[in-house]
């Protein structure tokens, strides 16, 4: 029963992909653009490039800055504090599980 259900699910998933391939293979070929459409596309591309040049340069974004705090983002990597020595009374070795 599970094998049948899996086969049906795979068929349902594959059907749209096969239909898309069929449309691309046998569909209409793209039509050539008229000179006025080409000129309009060129104008739109130039306007887009001009608009990109109008965007001011921004400083890099630090998404973790608020989590770290402002102090740590400005400091360079400082060495870690030395480990505290264990007292002679403390046991050494591993703990049993």
What per-residue confidence (pLDDT) applies to 40?
Answer: 96
pLDDT of residue 49: 93
The full DSSP string for 28-91 is PPPPPPPHHHHHHHHHHHHHHHHHHHTSPP-PPP-TTHHHH-HHHHHS--PPPPPPPPPPTTS-
Task: Identify the pLDDT of residue 41.
Answer: 95
| pTM summary value | 0.33
Low-confidence stretches of the chain (pLDDT beneath 70): 18-28, 30, 69-97
- State the pLDDT at residue 92: 58
**Angle at CA of residue 7, ends 5 and 11, nearest 5°:** 115
């Amino acid at each position: 029963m599970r094998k049948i259900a899996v086969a049906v699910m795979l068929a349902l998933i594959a059907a749209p992909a096969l239909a898309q391939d069929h449309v691309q293979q046998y569909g209409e070929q793209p039509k050539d653009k008229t000179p006025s459409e080409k000129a309009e596309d060129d104008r739109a591309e130039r306007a887009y490039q001009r608009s990109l040049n109008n965007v001011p340069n921004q400083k890099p974004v630090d998404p973790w800055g608020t989590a770290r705090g402002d102090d740590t983002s400005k400091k360079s990597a400082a060495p870690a504090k030395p480990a505290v020595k264990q007292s002679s009374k403390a046991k050494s070795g591993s703990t049993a599980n």
